[in-house]
Amino acid sequence: MKPPTTATPRRGSAGRHTAGVRAQDSAPADPLVVRPVRRGDLAQVIAIDATVTGLEKRDYWRSVYRRYGDSGHVERQFLVAHARERVVGFVIGEVRDWEFGSPPCGWVFAIDVKPDCRQAGIGTRLLDAICASFRLAGVRKVRTMLGRDNTLILSFFRSQGMMAGPFIPLEMDLGT
C-alpha cells in the first residue's frame, strides 16, 4: 500500500467540460451541483461503484449512507456531484481525531466519477467540496490512502497537490 498522502489541495480545473458533463456552476442550462447525498441517489452511487469494483455491495452502501449520509455531523461527509438529473460522482470522508497520534484531520476514503464523465473537472469539484467541509469542521489537513498500483487515482491526488505524508500503513495476514 502507498503511504497516506497529506496536503492542502490546490484549486483545480473546475470549469472544463467534455462530451460527458459540463462542470461549471455558472452554466445555467446544465449546472453541476455538489451536494449531500440523498436516499434516492443510492442506487446510482452503487452503480458507479460497481463500474470501478465490479461488485454491487448494497448492504455496505446502505450502512455507509446511514453513517455518513444521514448523520447530520459536519465531520462526516457523503457528497454527490449531480448533473442532468443524474449522479455523476461521489466523495466520502470524515474528520478523525487523534488516530495514530495525529491531531484531528480529514480523511477522504472514497472518490469516484462515472467513467463517461471523467476528465471534466468533476473529481476536482468533489475534492474541493469535501475539503471545504473539513475546513468548516475546523481541520487544516486532509489525508487519503490509495492502492500502490492505482496510478489513475495517484495522478488525480497528485494533481490536487497531495503528497506522501509522515505515516506508512503496515499489515499482516492473520491466518485461520
Ligand X SMILES: CC(C)(COP(=O)(O)OP(=O)(O)OC[C@H]1O[C@@H](n2cnc3c(N)ncnc32)[C@H](O)[C@@H]1OP(=O)(O)O)[C@@H](O)C(=O)NCCC(=O)NCCS
Residue with grid cell 466523495, as numbered in its chain: 91
153 near ligand X, rule: CB under 6 A: yes
Give the Cα separation of 120 and 132 in Å (integer).
20
Backbone angles phi, psi at 46, to 5 degrees: -60, -40
Q: For the window 157-176, what string marks contact with ligand X as x by the rule CB under 6 A?
A: --x-----------------
Question: How far, in Å, CA of 139 to CA of 144, rounded?
Answer: 14
Window contacting ligand X (CB under 6 A); options: 27-35, 135-143, 153-161, 167-175: 153-161
Using CB under 6 A, pick the residue from 41, 75, 112, 128 that binds ligand X.
Answer: 112
Contact flag: residue 13 with ligand X (CB under 6 A): yes
Q: Does 122 bind ligand X (CB under 6 A)?
A: yes
- Which CA distances in Å does 55 have to 32, 45, 46, 47? 27, 12, 9, 9
Segment interacting with ligand X (CB under 6 A) among 28-36, 63-71, 97-105, 119-127: 119-127
> What are the cell numbers at 152?
489513475
> For binding to ligand X (CB under 6 A), which residues are involved?
12-13, 52, 110-113, 118-124, 150, 152-153, 155-156, 159
